[in-house]
Amino acid sequence: MQASVPTLTQSSLCGFSVGTPVLPTVQRHAVSGIRLTEIDRAPEESLDTRREDELRDVEVKEEESEAGDPAWLRRRASQKKKLSHSRLDRVRLRRIEANARERHRMHGLNNALDSLRKVVPCYSKTQKLSKIETLRLAKNYIWLLSEILSTDQKDI
């Protein structure tokens, strides 16, 4: 007894126009300025090592702009004149560390999104779905699979 199972097609899954041009992965990375080494780095490399790299990058950037403090710091300094020099340094350090953590967090989020891209239909090694496309497609895919499941159960 064969049930009428919904056909799994790209057009039924994609909530967006299939013809939408999607840039190749490498090109996208060039676009976004992500270093390919960040994404393609071997998984066995520890997160700590990556964090150290990120922090080092930030320190370099900070040194480059040493000529003048960032706007947020100047603002804060003027608003809270009572802030001692050491306290200001501490605030600055905490901001830098928070930025690094935030960057790390977003990288984790992007890695999870990449994993999702690989299990969703439409996945291509040469064409990368955008974030929003990936999420919409995943939602539609889950919906379709649950439809298939419920259809099968009715036939039992």
Min. distance of Cβ 65 from DNA in angstroms? 9
Please give the Cα distance from 114 to 36 (Å, whole number): 14
103 binds DNA (CB under 7 A): yes
3-state SS, residue 131: helix
Q: Which of 101, 126, 142, 143 binds DNA (CB under 7 A)?
A: 101
Q: Render the burial of 102-125: b for 16+ CB within 10 Å, e for the rest.
A: ebeeebeeeeeeeebbeebebeee
Q: Which residue type does 25 have?
A: T
Please give the Cα distance from 108 to 114 (Å, whole number): 10
87 binds DNA (CB under 7 A): no
Min. distance of Cβ 134 from DNA in angstroms? 8
68 binds DNA (CB under 7 A): no
Min. distance of Cβ 113 from DNA in angstroms? 8
Min. distance of Cβ 109 from DNA in angstroms? 8
User: How many helices (H) and strands (E) are present in the chain, helices listed first?
Assistant: 7, 0
49 binds DNA (CB under 7 A): no
State the first-to-last Cα distance of the chain, in angstroms, to the nearest integer: 9
Stretch that binds DNA, among 1-9, 30-38, 42-50, 141-149 (CB under 7 A): 30-38
| Interface positions with DNA (CB under 7 A) | 21, 23, 27-28, 30-34, 58, 61, 70-72, 75-76, 90, 94-95, 97-103, 105-107, 110, 128, 130-133
